[in-house]
Amino acid sequence: MTLISDLHDGVLTLTLNRPDKLNAINNDLALRLLDALRAAAADPGVRVVRLRGNGRAFCAGRDVSEPPTERDLELVQAVAQAIVRLPQPVVADVHGWTLGAGLEWMLDADLVVAGRSARFRLPEASLGVFVTGGLTATLSAMAGLARARSLLLLGEAFDAQQALEWGLVYRVVNDPDREEASRHVATALAALKPEVAQAFKRVMNQIGLPAFDRAIEAENEAQRLLGTKPGPT
């Protein structure tokens, strides 16, 4: 099972479960996550979604051991849109390597709790492929255009403390405390009236991420113009 789902007191925890691959994304994982998010959107018993990874990492991007296809791009983009459009807030719980599409999905969440072990990188430009996940909108909105340009073009690794200073994560904690911290945040959100939490998410995304849908379209077009299929990130 590439995705584990658990609902408790209004918090739906979705766990990426390919620990031997550092939770690298293949089509099965992406499709299962997409289905789970779509089901959550229609479930009044779900007040918050908490997204985490099993094993040593949150998500190491796309699985390089499988040949890339156009379907890879479609599913990665569909999951990103599902996270942003989900009525309920999404809390990402990240640790270890969080790369490429994994980092893109993290930034699509509403709040991010990171363990100090978290390490981030966007290697797409060095690999000759383009980013996905609406990253050209989310990263610029959170970190500013100048910082986004450097992270995207140079692809340098950065750590949890830097991510906090740049506005990419909400909180950094010691790794043994990470699970409890992310559950605490999710529980606090679940205690809000659903209509209130959902209104805040909807309006803040409308105002703060007005270019998200256009970013998805532009990223898809950039993939086509580069003449490359989705790469190994």
DSSP string, 16-78: E--GGGTT-B-HHHHHHHHHHHHHHHT-TT--EEEEEESTT-SB-SB-TTS---HHHHHHHHH
Domain membership of residue 105 (yes or no) is yes
pLDDT at 226: 84
Q: Kindly report, residue by residue over 103-117, the tens digit of the pLDDT.
A: 999 999 999 999 999
Domain membership of residue 130 (yes or no) is yes
Instruction: Compute the distance between CA of residue 231 and CA of residue 70 in angstroms, rounded to an integer.
Output: 10
Cα of 32 vs its chain's centroid, Å = 15
Look up residue 192 and give its DSSP letter. S
Domain, as residue range, for 12: 3-176+192-226
Catalytic residues: 104, 124
CATH code of 106's domain: 3.90.226.10
- pLDDT category at 229 given cuts 50, 70, 90 is low
Report helix, strand or coil for 8. strand
Look up residue 13 and give its DSSP letter. E
Domain membership of residue 181 (yes or no) is no
Instruction: Compute the distance between CA of residue 116 and CA of residue 211 in angstroms, rounded to an integer.
Output: 31
Q: Kindly report, residue by residue over 118-155, the tens digit of the pLDDT.
A: 999 999 999 888 999 999 999 999 999 999 999 999 99
Q: Kindly report, residue by residue over 57-67, the tens digit of the pLDDT.
A: 999 999 988 76
Domain membership of residue 37 (yes or no) is yes
Domain membership of residue 186 (yes or no) is no
How many domains, the chain?
Answer: 1
